[in-house]
Structure 1
Amino acid sequence: MKKSTKIFLLTLLILIIGIFIHPQKVIYEANIEGKVIDENNKPIINATVYRIEKEYYINEEIGSNESRDLRAESVKTDKNGNFKFYEKSRIDWFHTPLDLPIGYCYAEFEIEKSGYEFYKTKFGEFEQYRIENCYACEKVLFKPIITLKSLKENSRPKQN
């Protein structure tokens, strides 16, 4: 094969790869708003709600990829027990023309309020699938209603 043919084929291969894989930074709005209530469905005022994200790092000691929970943002509930996160998250997302129009998005929270049990979501407790025009979970809205258990209720002795 001639040298010019090899160069042409290599250039063509690079162009084809460039068409199908192009890294692109995406900013998506963390559309999360919800409500915190007690067991009697009454709003809990001034509860601290944390949005949890995974932080990925390399553990130098054992040379493996690790992750830990990171409190990315916190807000207080208002007089009606409502909260809303406004911060935007930045993620790295690789798009190709062959991407399937399906996205799996989830939200994790921790909630603290004196007099109530600490609350942490379980993975997948708040999740959504965005199918049409999927683009890194943008425009997915989470509206959780979270019930906190009172510590006073749990500390009462049982009556026979």
Structure 2
Amino acid sequence: MKVTENSTYRLMQTNLNTITTELQNLRVKGSTGLKLLAPSDDPASISPVLNTRTQIRATERYLETMEVSHDKMQSTDGHLGHVEKIMEDAKKIALNAVNSSLSQPDLNVLADSISNLRDELLDSANATIDGKYIFSQCNDRWQIYFFRVPGKHHSLCKKYQL
């Protein structure tokens, strides 16, 4: 095969284009700081990168869920602490009510106190977080604890009379 000036020129042009393309890729990698700009840059290395990205996204979702759950648990714990205080107050009032030296007006005051505690207990039992009832069992959109008013009955869910 005879080497002509034309074939030498084409070979040099091809090599120059290859070197220019490689130089451009190196400049892009240097300016962005990224080794892999496209999956075609290194197909063998892209799989671990994609797996790592998937794991990072899953971990971020897990952390978000943990933060929301932590907030809900703290709120629930606060409501349960309030219920515990209500029950302790009710116990104190009940122990005070067995005192035979109390007059009827004193007993009426204690009855009003118990009624107020019942209302507080009902409010705590129907506490909400982000519009959802904390202690609801079958559907967190429905209030299930109520004070039964004679003659009225609602059956959205299994309800508990206080």
- TM-score (norm: length of structure 2): 0.26
Asked which structure has the greater CA Rg, the reply is 2
* Greater share of residues in helix: 2
* Greater share of residues in strand: 1
- TM-score (norm: length of structure 1): 0.27
Where relative contact order (Cα < 8 A, 6+ residues apart) is larger, the structure is 1
